Amino acid sequence: MHEQLNQWDFVAAALGIGVVGTLVLVGWTLWAMVRAEKRRDSVRGNK
C-alpha cells in the first residue's frame, strides 16, 4: 500500500522545531547572562 504523506507537514515541523529551539537557546542564554551579571554586581555592591 502506498502511503500518502504531505511533505509540507514535515517541512513545517522541522523548521518549527529548529527555529523555536534556536530562539529558546538565544533567549535563555541572554536571560541567564543578565541574571548572573546582576548577581555579581549586587554582590560587589554589598561590601
Partner 1 sequence: MHGFANPARFLRMARWLMPLLLVPGLVLAFGALAWGVLVVPADRLMGDTVRILFIHVPCVWLGMAGWSMIAISSVIELVWRHPLASIAARAAAVPGAVFTALGLATGSIWGRPTWGTWWVWDGRLTSFLILLFLYLGYIALASAAQRDMAAGGGASRVTAIFGLVGAVNIPIINRSVVWWNSLHQPPSITMGKSSIDGTFLWPLLIAAIGFSLIFGGVVLARMRMLLADIQAEARLRRKAMG
What is the rounded distance in angstroms from the CA atom of residue 29 to the CA atom of residue 23?
Answer: 10
Q: Hey, what's the cell of 43?
A: 554582590
What whole-number distance in Å separates Cα of residue 27 and Cα of residue 45?
A: 27
The answer to whether residue 32 forms part of the interface with partner 1 (CB under 8 A) is: yes
2 binds partner 1 (CB under 8 A): no
1 binds partner 1 (CB under 8 A): no
**Which residues here bind partner 1, judged by CB under 8 A?**
3, 5, 7-8, 10-11, 13-15, 17-19, 21-22, 25-26, 29-30, 32-33, 36-37, 39-40, 43-44
